[in-house]
Amino acid sequence: MNVVHYRKQATNRALLFLLPFALALPSCHKDADSRRDFALQYWSSNNGGEIRFSQWTVEEWNSKHPENPVKYQPVPEGQSSEEIILAAVVAKTTPDIYSNIWQGLVEFYSRSGILVPLDTLDGFMEFIQQRCDSATIREITSSDGHIYQVPWKINPILSIYNKRIIEALNMGGFPPTYSTYLEAARRFQKDTDGDGYVDQWFGNTSVKLAWYQRLFNFYPLYLAASGGMPLIKDGRANFNNQYAIGAFRFLQELYRENYFSRQVEAAGQDLFIAEKYASKWTGPWEIEYLEKYKRKDFDYAFAPIPVPDGHEGPVYTYCDPKSIVIFNTCQNPQLALEFIKIMVSEEGDLQFLQHTNQLPRRQNMDTLPRFREFFAQNPRLQVFAEQARFVKGADICEVLVEVFDILSQEYEACVIYQMKSPEEAIADAEKAVNVLLRVREGPDF
């Protein structure tokens, strides 16, 4: 056997072995994780404030329970946390506790059988009844009667407005009802440079089709008008009513009269900061953003979501709720619950509020002395804390995303392009949603 031949054989063999080796290599480092030196793994969201809060919680826990240490990890930054969770479930790398799940998705995961029913754990019901009022508990109870989530935090949606502009309109403050809102919009609309096009608008809200955009325009308006009625009730559409139709009509008029701009927000700079928009609908996160980018003399305030004329009672809104869940890969759910209790203890909630400027979903928050102190120092957040008494989250429905998608399709056709009357659009949406929900009974997609 000569040398060349031998070398060639070696090369061939190396090549043959190369591929399977390359296949196996990347999975190694994740397997190493399974030799765990901690009792629980907790995934938090990846924004700065929440990471600091998670640090605090884990340190707090670990100092009290050194025998059962918790390890936390922010979910990787990038796409939506839903996709990350899904990938983790498939790859069987789910954590024990995850704290940033949208309330509207919990039913999807619980129906897929990957969450722990928390009400089967000792002391959960007492704990949840202390944290939440009965309406919230009803809102989070799954269709199978179990509870799979701990309501954690909310960001209520309100109207934000440019104070200088609203005062100049002489309407005696921000218009609270549909008719005064439209009147204010009419007064503000203008073609300032005389080129034949309107160049300042009373408001702006996303015209994008993505389903979740409806959580920030139609849905708060619907909840405000209806006093917090659900979209889905007893497994069928519950929204073909005067409130949904009224909200569609109101929005349709805003676009028809060109009171709201149809410019896609990504196509230019922020026109609210540029004072071309007098108002918009947004959550408490807007405060930090505005303080960062606004001009010094720019002054703003918040007001409730507009309601139909003659509306009585409190004005509800959507609160963008996030929950904490325990995955059923967890070896010790009872321990996980104890950890969650630390996370949402009075001290925990206060720490969370201080670190993130987001509100804990805890009843009567604004009556606790230490919270009152915080809000006194942060008056901008006070209005959100008051609103927190009158908020709704998401309905229990496995296919809620698709329900919002259907509403979004009709929203675009009716509100943005005026191709349907509000009555038709809502009726069509109701029909499509009922088809969707009935199909779910049998084989489906």
Partner 1 sequence: MMKPYKAILFILLTGAALSFLYPFYWMIMASLTPEAQIGELAFLPGQLTVDNYVLMISKIPIWRSLLNSTIVASLSTLGVIVFGSMTGYALAKLPFRGRNLLFFVIIFTMTLPFQITLIPNYILMVKFRWVDTLAALIIPALNNAFAILLFRQAFKSIPDDLIHAARVDGCGELRIIFQILFPNMLPTIITVGIITFMSSWNDVLWPLIVIRDEQWMTMPQLVTLFAVGGRAEAQLGVKLASAVFLALPIIIAYSIFQRHFIQSMASTGLKN
Partner 2 sequence: MSTQPPKYQQLRNKLLPYVIVSPYLIHLCLFVLFPVAFSILLTFHKWNIIAPMEYIGLDNFRHLFQDRLFWKAILNTGRFLLIHIPLQIVVALALAYFLNEKILMRGFFRATFFMPVVISGVVVTILWQQLFGLETGLLNRLLSGIGLARVEWLSNPKLSMASIAIMATWKNVGLYVILFLVGLQSVPKSYYEAAEVDGANAWQQFRYITLPAINPTFFMVVILSTIGGFSLFIEPYIMTDGGPLNTTLSAMLYIYKQAFGYYHMGYSTTLGLFFALLIMVVVAVQKYTIEEKE
Binding residues for partner 1, per CB under 8 A? Answer: 2, 4-5, 7-9, 11-12, 15, 22-23, 25-27, 30, 76-79, 83-84, 87, 90-91, 93, 265-266, 268-270, 274, 289, 293
Please report how close the Cβ of residue 27 comes to partner 1 at its closest, in angstroms. Answer: 4
Pick from partner 1, partner 2, none: which does 416 bind, CB < 5 to 8 A by kind? Answer: partner 2
Exposure string (b/e) for 338-372, b if CB count within 10 Å is 16 or more?
A: bbbbbbbeeebbbbbbebbbbbbbbeebbeeeebe
Tokens of residue 430, six digits: 């109701």
- Return the one option of partner 1, partner 2, none that residue 27 interacts with (CB less than 5 to 8 A, by type): partner 1
Which residues from 203-232 bind partner 2, rule CB under 8 A?
207-210
Residue 91 in contact with partner 2, rule: CB under 8 A: no
* Pairing outcome for strands 40-44 and 70-74: parallel
Q: Considering the complex, what minimum distance in angstroms separates the CB of residue 388 from partner 2? A: 31
Close Cβ partners of 12 (under 8 Å, ≥ 6 residues apart) = none
Give the residue from 321, 318, 288 showing the smallest Cα distance to 304. 318
CB 42 within 8 A of CB 72: yes
The distance of closest approach from Cβ of residue 357 to partner 1 in the complex, given in angstroms and rounded to an integer, is: 16
Give the containing element (helix H, strand E) for 222: helix 218-226
The smaller minimum CB distance to partner 1, of residues 12 and 120, is found at 12
Q: What are phi and psi of 154, to 5 degrees?
A: -140, 155
The entry of partner 1, partner 2, none that residue 445 binds, CB within 5 to 8 Å by partner kind: partner 2
Angle at CA of residue 272, ends 270 and 274, nearest 5°? 75
Query: Measured in whole angstroms, how far is the alpha carbon of residue 139 from the centre of its chain?
Result: 15
Instruction: Check binding of 3 to partner 2 (CB under 8 A).
Output: no
Q: Which one of residues 197, 297, 367, 369 is an interface residue with partner 2 (CB under 8 A)?
A: 197
First to last CA, the chain: 63
Residue 355 interaction partner, one of partner 1, partner 2, none, beta carbon < 5-8 Å per kind: none
Task: For 361-379, give the DSSP string.
Answer: --TTGGGSHHHHHHHHH-H
Judged by CB under 8 A, does residue 376 bind partner 2? no
Least CB distance to partner 1 at residue 262 (A): 16
Chain centroid to CA 56: 23
Q: By C-beta, is 114 or 396 nearer to partner 1?
A: 114
Q: Is 114 in the site for partner 2 (CB under 8 A)?
A: yes
Out of 64, 164, 233, 262, point to the residue binding partner 2 (CB under 8 A): 262
**In whole angstroms, what is the distance from residue 248 CA to residue 250 CA?**
5
Q: Least distance in Å: CB of 395 to partner 2? A: 17
Kindly identify the residues of this chain, within the stretch 413-442, that bind partner 2 according to CB under 8 A.
413, 416-417, 419
The single residue listed with the structure tokens 């998401």 is 394
- Residue 276 CB, nearest distance to partner 2 (Å)? 9
Cβ 311 vs Cβ 323: under 8 Å: no
Largest CA distance in the chain: 100
Burial of residue 247, with CB atoms counted within 10 A of its CB: 0-12 exposed, 13-18 middle, 19 or more buried: buried
The least CB distance from residue 194 to partner 1, in Å, is 17
- Which residues sit at the interface with partner 2, rule CB under 8 A? 1-2, 5, 12, 15-16, 19, 83, 86, 89-90, 108-109, 111-114, 195, 197, 199, 207-210, 261-264, 266-269, 401-402, 405, 409, 412-413, 416-417, 419, 443-445
